[in-house]
């Protein structure tokens, strides 16, 4: 007990000495320090040492413990200077203040063009630059194993995982390299989305996909369709209908795939739209379309992997949003007359 008391007193004396003898830090250059969500004191102090903001983890952590601010650290980007006193660093890292971050919210089912439109309207990055960055983005297959079965020439459609992301308001100059600012921002966002996809598609899900002798590309493509065609508990039912249609050689006849091919957003595509000659037109061509028609969320991906067995072959959405299922084409025609007229 005496030893513990001695160590605490010694730490307090060292910290006090730090306050007294460390010179003012105003003349040192400012640098960014980012606290990630969920990081604890140990991770924060380790990175403060690595980035030369503090010299000793023990002193820092002892001061934090004495101040009882272990849970007060704020996630986000903070501005620090080398050689700041510990109390100054803790004050900055536990204060709400202004941060160089903002949130963007990418919705489930948005295709890459819709993501680009959202980012353009939010003045994050221009639409054309984002789409060009998506098209030219170079990913390392060793980093993103889930892309290994993606056909040659396929885009990143389907893999830009929808979620809420924290990004820089002003992109740090030191991260630009030889890139222009907007391209750097676009690639920063793309990497966050691919990293998120990699995390969300767990090892168990990948093992189940392999067990079913399907590819991740096929699952993502199916998930992108049912994301547009269903919601909630209907996702897995619709997935079962579509997988069985493929097994039986019946066209999927998904309006969402036609809309993707035409670039329209029609509740019911026109007869001319249904005839469009596109590998994404599942009225004209059987099986899965050429690739994903949007970026599905985890619920849709799980539904594509774990479809809910049922006896239906058709479905439609009534005007009130309810999903109406049919066991055969005659019942489907009757339901269309009843719910869509």
Distance CA 65, CA 76 (A): 21
pLDDT at position 95: 77
Q: For the range 328-336, what are the long-range contacts, defined as Cβ-Cβ under 8 Å and sequence gap of 24 or more? A: none
Please tell me the predicted confidence (pLDDT) of residue 96: 65
Dist CA 219 CA 221 (whole Å): 5
Helical (H) or strand (E) element with 110: none
- Under the phi-then-psi rule, with left for phi > 0, alpha for psi from -120 to 50, and beta for the rest, what region is 97? left
Q: Which residue has the tokens 């006849």?
A: 253
Helix H or strand E encompassing 31: strand 30-35
Domains, the chain, in order of start with CATH, read: 2-93 (3.30.1490.480), 101-200 (no CATH), 215-310 (no CATH)
pTM given for the model:
0.73
Low-confidence stretches of the chain (pLDDT beneath 70)? 1-28, 96-99, 139-142
Strands 76-81 and 101-105: unpaired
Specify the pLDDT at position 34. Answer: 82
Given this model, what pLDDT does residue 19 score?
47
- Residues written for the chain: 341
Q: What is the pLDDT of residue 270?
A: 83
Question: What phi and psi, each to the nearest 5 degrees, are found at residue 33?
Answer: -135, 125
Q: What pLDDT is attached to residue 86? A: 87
């Amino acid at each position: 007990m005496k030893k513990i008391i001695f160590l605490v007193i010694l730490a307090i004396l060292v910290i006090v000495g730090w306050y007294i003898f460390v010179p003012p830090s105003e003349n040192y250059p400012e640098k960014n320090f980012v606290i990630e969500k969920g990081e604890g004191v140990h991770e924060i102090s380790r990175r403060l040492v690595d980035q030369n903001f503090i010299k000793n983890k023990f002193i820092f952590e002892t001061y934090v413990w004495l101040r009882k601010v272990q849970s007060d650290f704020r996630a986000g980007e903070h501005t620090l200077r080398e050689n700041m006193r510990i109390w100054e660093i803790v004050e900055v890292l536990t204060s709400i203040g202004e941060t160089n971050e903002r949130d963007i919210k990418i919705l489930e089912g948005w295709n890459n063009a819709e993501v680009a439109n959202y980012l353009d309207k939010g003045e994050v990055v221009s639409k054309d630059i984002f789409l060009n960055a998506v098209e030219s983005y170079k990913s390392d297959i060793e980093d993103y194993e889930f892309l290994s079965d993606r056909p040659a020439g396929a885009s990143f459609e389907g893999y830009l995982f929808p979620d809420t992301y924290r990004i820089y308001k002003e992109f740090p100059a030191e991260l630009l390299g030889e890139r222009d600012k907007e391209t750097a921002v676009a690639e920063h966002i793309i990497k966050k989305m691919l990293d998120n996809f990699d995390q969300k598609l767990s090892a168990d899900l990948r093992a189940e996909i392999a067990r079913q002798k399907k590819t991740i590309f096929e699952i993502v493509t199916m998930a992108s369709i049912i994301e547009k065609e269903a919601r909630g508990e209907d996702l897995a039912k619709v997935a079962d209908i579509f997988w069985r249609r493929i097994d039986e050689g019946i066209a999927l006849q998904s309006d969402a795939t036609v809309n993707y091919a035409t670039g329209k957003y029609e509740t019911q595509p026109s007869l001319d739209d249904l005839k469009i000659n596109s590998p994404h037109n599942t009225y004209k061509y059987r099986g899965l379309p050429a690739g994903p028609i949007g970026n599905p969320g985890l619920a849709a991906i799980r539904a594509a992997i774990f479809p809910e067995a049922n006896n239906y072959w058709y479905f439609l959405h009534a005007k009130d949003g309810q999903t109406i299922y049919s066991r055969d084409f005659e019942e489907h025609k009757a339901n269309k007359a009843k719910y869509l007229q």
